[in-house]
Amino acid sequence: MTRTVPGRTDHVVVVGAGLAGLAATLHLLGAGRRVTVVERDPLPGGRAGRRALGGYHLDTGPTVLTMPDLADEAFAAVGERLRDRVELLPLHPAYRACFADGTTLDVHTDADAMAAEVERFAGAREAAGYRRLRDWLGRLYAVQMRRFIDANFDSPLGLLTPDLARLAALGGFGRLDARIGRFLTDERLQRIFSFQALYAGVAPSRALAAYAVIAYMDTVAGVYFPRGGLHALPRAMAAAAADAGADLRLGRNVTRLERSGTRVTAVVTDHERIPCDAVVLTPDLPVARRLLGRRPRRPVALRHAPSAVVLHAGTTRTWPHLAHHTLSFGAAWRRTFDELTRTGTLMTDPSLLITRPTAHDPSLAPEGRHLHYVLAPCPNTDIGPGAHAWSDLAPRYRDRLLATLERRGLTGIAAAVEEECLVTPADWTAQGHAAGTPFSVAHTFAQTGPFRPRNLVRGTDNAVLAGCGTTPGVGVPTVLVSGKLAAARITGTPARAGSARGGLR
């Protein structure tokens, strides 16, 4: 049995209406708790927010949705279904990869379609290697989801299960790039199944092979687009929570927590005082710890993942070679990760994610216009330029990004931009994200599973953490799980994904 919050837990205040907070809310409601949600912004969503800009509607956070069954679980907790609230469109291809040598590869989640594409791209031997890789990814996911992702840990001893031996037998404790190289010899294909290590904040040459589970989510389970943009998901979750009885208080900034001994007794905002029996805190770790008045007891400071510069561009045209999601790889690879995670310099030959949401929902832009989201990974402010430096860097880096896109086939993009918004580490810092990164704490071995900041708070009996800074980690699927795990700490109900396979029931 894992530890749970002792004492009365009838009324829970959830601080933050992002994906983690809303998932926790739905699971708490389903277990019979009364829930008040407090959110500083005027809209739900947190990182998965929305901004209007000259007739364009921007997703301010993630744009890639995988594993929708994990969201469906949250809806099911209150007797609803995700599909009744959100129209999900499966993306075919999930991604289009464009390489520096001019070649392109469409990434399909259907096994036969992807094997055929790999054979066209790199030959029959690589196609056979892909099929073996896909089988390995499936087995890796099955072991990890059951025991290492969808699980609360009270200590590292919680790892000592038969699944730990199974994970070791699958090579999960080797290096990611070496394990992928056992299946695929083409360096371009290896990138498709290892670039996800960047989400974990570790170079593929140093990441555990276990992190290939993210590649399973991206390349096997399926990639989806919620009509209306990814913000449609938290908006629907908030509506379902309200219909199930949650009290959502938006535009409220939490200023402090009242305590009596080791328990939080009330959440105080700039508008009111809300008595509570337990609290779920979803802000970034430094904000949560400031509210709690507790400093972490770790022998080594937390290491944070790289950050990102995001250019939202509303344009008068688009470019036919762009899919909904396009990975534009530079020629450099190992050097890129060194720059992002070691030397702290901006990518000299950037690899970019370009998302074109108007490919499947033209209503996100004015008629005849197009919306493009360009994500360029960059060092966080701990090892790279500080937040203050970005006031000078931002306009120059924006011009560099547009010049890179121009060279890679987006001819005339600078002239086509009519509305734009550039988000830099300075903006992430202003939003309260440690080290100027929205990707929070890196998934090094010492910051994964039971070694990651835990969701129970030492010295406070009735406070639980949720979000990407705690277990299980960064990414939309894992953040949804974190909300579920936080709720389980309060309700005592088992938290298991079980049937989550990436499709909808």
Helix (H) or strand (E) holding 181: helix 176-181
> What's the rounded mean pLDDT across residues 345-351?
95
- As a whole number of Å, the end-to-end CA separation of the chain is 29
Q: Quick one: pLDDT band at residue 160, thresholds 50, 70, 90?
A: low
Q: Quick one: pLDDT band at residue 494, thresholds 50, 70, 90?
A: low
Q: Are strands 50-53 and 34-39 parallel, antiparallel or unpaired?
A: unpaired
> What's the rounded mean pLDDT across residues 213-239?
96
Report the C-alpha gap between 208 and 202 in whole angstroms: 9
Indicate the residue type of 193.
Answer: F
Chain mean position to CA 229: 15
pLDDT of residue 18 exceeding 50, the answer is yes
Radius of gyration of the chain from its Cα atoms, rounded to whole angstroms: 22
- Provide the pLDDT for residue 500: 40
Supply the mean pLDDT for the chain: 92
Residues across the chain = 505
DSSP for residue 436: G
Instruction: Select the more confidently predicted residue: 162 or 385.
Output: 385
pTM over 0.85: yes
Report the C-alpha gap between 174 and 196 in whole angstroms: 16
- Provide the pLDDT for residue 404: 97
- Provide the pLDDT for residue 299: 55
Q: In the numeric block, which tokens belong to residue 30? A: 């389903």
At 66-87, the pLDDT tens digits run: 999 999 999 999 999 999 999 9
Indicate the residue type of 216.
Answer: Y
Percent of residues in the chain assigned helix, strand, coil, to nearest 5: 40, 20, 40
At 382-414, the pLDDT tens digits run: 999 999 999 999 999 999 999 999 999 999 999
The residue among 254, 154, 255 whose CA lies nearest residue 458 is: 154
Residues near 403 by beta carbon (within 8 Å), at least 6 away in sequence: none
The residue among 212, 220, 180 whose CA lies nearest residue 196 is: 212
CB atoms within 10 A of CB 215: 22
pLDDT of residue 13 exceeding 50, the answer is yes
